[in-house]
Amino acid sequence: MFGNLGMGELMVILVIVLVLFGAKRIPEISASFGKGIREFKKNVGDVERSITEPEPRVEPRVEPRLPAGEPIMRRDVAEEVRPEPKRLI
């Protein structure tokens, strides 16, 4: 997992981390690091699923058509009386 790092090198890295961050902050840092890794793996899995799974088909909605002889506008809208505009003078 650590490549060519031996026990001595790991101890030096651990001491440096301990000096830089302190004993109280190391659990907080490791918890946030673990949370970040979990979130990353979850997002990678979501992307893989979206690539491999087919998109759900959505059937187009067909609107009922009016018969050829029917007027397009409703009667109450067509017969609506509009007031005259007010004059400015």
| Per-position b or e across 21-57, b if 16+ CB within 10 A of its CB | eeeeeeeeeeeeeeeeeeeeeeeeeeeeeeeeeeeee
State residue 21's pLDDT score: 86
- pLDDT tens by residue, 45-81: 998 888 888 777 888 887 777 666 656 665 555 556 6
- pLDDT tens by residue, 21-46: 888 888 898 899 999 999 999 999 99
State residue 45's pLDDT score: 92
- pLDDT tens by residue, 72-86: 665 555 556 677 778
Distance CA 21, CA 32 (A): 14
State residue 74's pLDDT score: 58
**Of 13, 18, 41, the residue nearest 29 (C-alpha):** 18
